[in-house]
Structure 1
Amino acid sequence: MQVLTSLILAAFVGYIGAWYVGAIEGNFALLLLLATIVTGAYWLAERFYFLPRRKQAAAAFATSTQQRREELERMGIRPDGADDLQAAQHKLIMQPWWLDWTAGLFPVILVVFLLRSFLFEPFKIPSGSMYPTLWVGDLILVNKYTYGLRLPVANTRITDGNKPKAGDVIVFRYPPQPTVDYIKRVIGTPGDTVAYLNKRLTINGKPVPTTNLPDFFEEDAMRYFSQFQEKIGEKPHNVLNNKEAPAFVQGASNFQHRDLCNYSVEGVTCKVPEGQYFVMGDNRDNSLDSRYWGFVPEANIVGRAFFIWMNFGNFKRIGSFN
């Protein structure tokens, strides 16, 4: 079992290492599921096979030692070493290293698996596309049950949930590359007509209310950008515009349902199809979003982002956001 366990642990380490250096495209949900299954199997084996065998061995050792002492006493020899007996029994019952690194980790891995799969998943903001709402380095929590619970890896929905609403910030699997997670704000829901023309947003023909705010200094770009407050849905949020960037969309791909979008020198207008969502970043001129690669299928949605739990470069970032 030691050799087999060493090979299994080496396989996990090798997979993680290859993922880290970019040699393969990793799947953390699958890795966590496999780790849960493997450590769970070792935990069951430890509980119902290995531990009882070690206890039997310790009991047999204690019995033989006691018989040996009694024999020595009959011979007039006073035996010592009671403490040694207890230490030897403890050593016999103690888990070997290969069970410490498998069965011993199962409770922790199981809790992480359940929390991440069905309740909350952590996510790190990798780019500035959601400035000023979310900054690079923000560590956020994603609610996995609001839109309905899904089976891990298979992503099959097992409970009904609420539908994403306009204004929600969601994490989703990037449609052109589903193994990559993106985060954007929902702008249009199924049936909506979304227009972003001359950098003004309208939904179903109604302009989204905006209020001018002081310019925002983006530390990554080391420059100021125009800042506005929008209200989509129930709560307002802030967005950025770059006055120097053109209004038209450059380099839109040939995505599914592209015929529902009309591109012009002023921008883009799209009719959101059933079961799909139109999303945009709050940093409007620095966001690769639905204007470029199309709509987000409902099946791709991971959950709703709602809380910044840490930013190691700025502790003031911790808290909820709109």
Structure 2
Amino acid sequence: MRWFEIALVVLTFATGLVWLLDRLLFARKRAERSGLIEEKEPLVVDYARAFFPVLAVVLVLRSFVAEPFRIPSSSMMPTLLIGDFILVNKFAYGLRLPINNRKFVEIGEPERGDVVVFRPPHRPDEDWIKRVIGLPGDTVAYRDNTVYVNGEPLRYRRLGEYQGRGRGADMSGASLMVEDLPGRPHQVLEVDQTPFMDPGDGEWTVPEGHYFVMGDNRDRSDDGRFWGTLPESQLRGKAFLVWMNIDSKAGGIGFDRIGNDIP
């Protein structure tokens, strides 16, 4: 969606500039020429005056308050489903400029367990979503479907077999587990038999200014196990709410998803 962000900034700037220049330079001259007869504004000025306030409000809300995103893949199942539309808090981790994502106001930092939207270092034009597992200074390991944080294995509790729906139906039969991440227990999926898939086993030390992120669908997620740690500068915000779900293969709108918090 970076193209939309660029277009929104350009259109807001352009309409605002046209409106401002007309007010400062041309509106008074038109009034002087017209006398008692009202002279119409040029069409481009009329459109700029009408659209600039709307575009400016959308830009401010989207850049600094909350931004909508759509979940296109299964990497965060069962927490987020394919077809979920989510809202992302854009000020939780500091205010950032649109387009270049440069932080200009410090507010907070990610906590362990937060679900974050970011631009991965190897795909800087795409928005991805994962869960923060490792904080700066941590050592994170993943071996035999178990996450270790600073040498301590996380505890797991099996809930049973997962039953997928719609475009996520292929995950039916996976093991539904509760992963006891300190302070933020959450559900994850594990596929019991994946003989031809790289499980992403390894160990990583998280440097200052970086985070280690993983998807909740452990065997269907391209995450830090395969490309390393995430720089803080790539963060876009904290996901906090599902406001809509549309999956044609599940019958259309998933009303039971609307308004769900993101744990």
Common fold by TM > 0.5: yes
Paired AA for residue 228 in structure 2 = G
Structure 2 counterpart of 1:245, from 164, 185, 194: 194
1:140 correspondence with 2:86: yes
- 1:184-241, CA deviations, whole angstroms, 9 ceiling, x for partnerless residues? 0011111111111110112112222222113222232443211011232423211101
Question: What CA RMSD, in Å, does the superposition of the two structures yield over aligned residues?
Answer: 2.3
SS of the residue corresponding to residue 178 of structure 1 reads coil
CA contact (8 A) 2:85 2:242 kept: yes
Quick one: distance in 1 between partners of 2:106 and 2:119?
Answer: 20
Quick one: distance in 2 between partners of 1:204 and 1:214?
Answer: 29
CA contact (8 A) 2:178 2:185 kept: yes
Partner of 1:8: none
CA contact (8 A) 1:165 1:186 kept: yes
SS of the residue corresponding to residue 164 of structure 1 reads coil
CA contact (8 A) 1:198 1:247 kept: no
Alignment gaps of 5+ in structure 1: 1-24, 62-88, 251-262
Paired AA for residue 38 in structure 1 = A
Alignment gaps of 5+ in structure 2: 247-252
> 1:287 Cα shift?
0.4
- 1:6-57, CA deviations, whole angstroms, 9 ceiling, x for partnerless residues? xxxxxxxxxxxxxxxxxxx953332222111101012213434554455556
Count of equivalent residues? 253
Partner of 2:256: 316
Identity of aligned residues (%): 44
Bigger RCO (CA 8 Å, 6+ sep): 2
CA contact (8 A) 1:280 1:287 kept: yes
> Which one is further off, 308-317 or 197-206?
308-317
Distance 1:230 1:104, change over 3 A: same
> Which one is further off, 176-185 or 227-236?
227-236
Partner of 1:36: 12
Quick one: distance in 2 between partners of 1:55 and 1:211?
Answer: 76
- 1:102-144, CA deviations, whole angstroms, 9 ceiling, x for partnerless residues? 2310001101111111111111111110001111111111111
Quick one: distance in 1 between partners of 2:7 and 2:30?
Answer: 31
Partner of 1:297: 231
Partner of 2:58: 112
Paired AA for residue 209 in structure 1 = R
Quick one: distance in 2 between partners of 1:148 and 1:216?
Answer: 37
TM-score by length of 1: 0.72
Structure number with higher strand proportion: 2
CA contact (8 A) 1:149 1:159 kept: yes
SS of the residue corresponding to residue 163 of structure 2 reads strand
Paired AA for residue 193 in structure 2 = E
TM-score by length of 2: 0.87
Quick one: distance in 2 between partners of 1:170 and 1:194?
Answer: 18
Quick one: distance in 2 between partners of 1:247 and 1:208?
Answer: 25
Structure 2 counterpart of 1:103, from 41, 49, 70: 49
Structure number with higher helix proportion: 1
Whichever of the two has the greater Rg, that structure is 1
What does 1:118-267 align with in structure 2 at a 5 Å threshold?
118-219=64-165, 220=167, 221-222=169-170, 223-246=172-195, 249=198, 267=201
SS of the residue corresponding to residue 158 of structure 1 reads strand
Quick one: distance in 2 between partners of 1:150 and 1:128?
Answer: 28
SS of the residue corresponding to residue 9 of structure 2 reads helix
